[in-house]
A and B are shown apart, each in its own frame.
Chain A
Amino acid sequence: MVYPTVKKDGKLYYLSDNEKLSKVLLEIENSNIGIIQGSYYEKNYDSKINSDLNLLASYGIHPIAFKFYGVPYKERYIDAAKFFRILLGDDLVFTKRLYTLIYPINAGFYNPKDPKNVNLILRKAKDFLALRDAILGISIPIYLDREDIERLILGLKDLGYDFLDLLKEPYHVENNNLIIMNKNGKKVVVSNVLPYSKSRLERFFEKFVEYLRIILIFVVTSFIVIILYLVFSRIRLYERGKRQ
């Protein structure tokens, strides 16, 4: 799951601020792994989702679903449903409302600070078995311990759960510039979004800094050589000066 823009300490950080992350995400996308978009709540939530969607698309990243941050109000569902068919929220059960599919994140999220966390999730998963055709959703952060995830997966399988691949679900994402959809099990993207390109100033600055770094490394090294020459031949040099 990706938040293309993040607000931290009142400042807005863009995906483009982290070039490495955007490259990693593109690699994930190209490896045929489904990416879910997330957006923090703002006043104009629908336009925020829309601009984030365009931002991701400009990097070649095409999300297939949308996840809310925490428990959303009813209006948030309406905003997100304008663009995404598949939504993920902190609901208790899977819901189908008209065209929209809402998958629940009902077993909470994995907390690496709590060693008993996996047990807690498995207990919740067991409780949900009381429902017929239960769909269980867990939010797993990237820093999940390898042993824990193995225990979690095997534990869920032991309970009789199967895993659901969102890429095989009938996802459909659409805005004015973009359509992402599952057509006969294949991801189809129709996009008018221009690829992200750096502004002239950014390009100039990057070059400037790049050349400056090379020049400075050369100059500082040369100056160190001069200093060493002066240090090791100072007696000879001073004597030469004194001789005059």
Chain B
Amino acid sequence: MKVLTFWDYAFVISMVMTWSVLLYHILLTYFGYRYFLISLDFEEDEEIKEYPFISVLVPAHNEEKVIGNTVDAIARAYYPRDKFEIIVINDNSTDGTGEVLKEKQKLYPNLKVLEIKPPLGAKGKSNALNQGLKIAKGDYILVYDADNTPERKAIYNLVRFIIKDDNLGAVVGKFRTRNKDKNLLTRFINIETLSFQWLIQASRNYFLGLTTIPGTNFIIRKDLLEKIGGWNIHSLTEDTELTIRIYKEGYRIKWIPQAVTWEQEPERLKIWIKQRTRWARGNISVIAQYLKNIFSLRSKIAFDIIYFSYIYLVAFSAILISDIIFGLGLLKVIKLHLGGPLFTIWILAYLLFITETFISLSLERGEGNLKNLLLICLMYFTYCQLWLFVVIRAIYFTLKDRITGKTVKWYKTERSSE
């Protein structure tokens, strides 16, 4: 008689786990599309009657290549000059960042440069932001990474939304890839960032009323930020961690596609792996931290934490198991006894990935083209598989740090060019 083996059971478990996530993503795709239709009607006509004073924080560590453009873009924002200050926190830079900023101060009187050196500085992005927060005069705090080029109306749109809803703790804008045409990697990143924002950010905003702060291009109430103690300097992904603390205070966060910033993405695989590993490590740490207290969180946040923990710990493990089974099957080391139209399912899964991703691109002007469609087809076998490697690497480092008791230090993503 036919005997089912360990691999048959492993295969069924991995299939069920993977598909439970993918089926949820089908819903998210649809919700992202719905949010797109709704967002088209976000009114922009109504001018802000009373512009609040705002502080734009830009942490910078050795950013001489990019900081000039970032300051220029922020300073030329569609917002009254006397109603905002730009605070660049020059965090222990050893390159020409300070000189570039001095030149820019001559052009922009509302530009403040906060120089921090050890022991106060060189402690990562969160620390730099906390230092900036101390001297910020605005009622609202905006954050931009040093490689960002916000569009003219980005700041205006972020302010517009936060001031009209007291329940909003923060408003998050959209980020786009400035160097998307540089090489294949940046083209993939462009597709990934758009998919993430429409399929994860917009859809969760529509479905759960939840959005994750991405670390740049967002506005937050200063009093709220002070109440929750600013940024957590021990977190690798200070943005995700901050998000949960805002929700715990009972506030909401909104994602709006009208506030756009363009940022530089890694152009080399090595840098990409390093950056994504940091993100994954940070997110795993946040998940681990809040998973312990899951019952103390509001139901929607708890659901979101469970979803992310499922993605990182369960779905990726399931994909890894099914990849191993697939590989061993190809090598004829193992044979599954379970039958069914598995090839058809695989083809449909592939088509699902392509259509889901292409929907998110079609929501952006100029991105839903044939070239990107072909890139998505290729992405499934290349870029997406790299994520598996990144997550395994992140889990390995996280476990290693836990065992050795090592404290994780925030590290900046290396810039490739101006």
Contacts and interface: CB of A to CB of B under 8 A. Distances in A.
A223 B40 contact: no
Given A51-B1, A213-B348, A244-B42, A219 B26 contact: yes
Given A11-B335, A244-B42, A212 B19 contact: yes
A17 interface: yes
A231 B368 contact: yes
A201 B345 contact: no
B362 interface: yes
A19 interface: yes
Contacts of B15: 205, 208
Contact of B40 (A11, A13, A237): A237
A10 B332 CA distance: 9
Contact of B348 (A205, A217, A231, A240): A217
A220 B355 contact: yes
Contacts, number: 95
| Nearest 8 interchain pairs by C-beta | A223-B355, A216-B348, A209-B340, A230-B362, A244-B44, A241-B40, A14-B2, A11-B335
A205 B341 CA distance: 11
A23 B41 CA distance: 60
A240 B340 contact: no
Contacts of A58: 1
B1 A55 contact: yes
Tell me if A's interface is mostly helix, strand, loop or mixed.
Answer: helix
A201 B10 CA distance: 11
A18 B45 CA distance: 66
Interface of A: 9-11, 13-14, 16-17, 19, 51, 54-55, 58, 199, 201-202, 204-206, 208-210, 212-213, 215-217, 219-220, 223-224, 226-227, 230-231, 234, 237-238, 240-241, 244
B370 to A, nearest CB: 11
Interface residues of B, number: 43
Interface of B: 1-2, 4, 8-9, 12, 15-16, 19, 23, 26, 29, 33, 39-45, 258, 332, 335, 337-342, 344-345, 348-349, 351-352, 355-356, 358-359, 362-363, 365, 368
A223 to B, nearest CB: 4
B352 A219 contact: yes
Contacts of B23: 215
A202 B332 CA distance: 22
A230 B2 contact: no
B307 to A, nearest CB: 19
Contacts of A231: 362, 368
Given A230-B363, A238-B365, A202 B345 contact: no
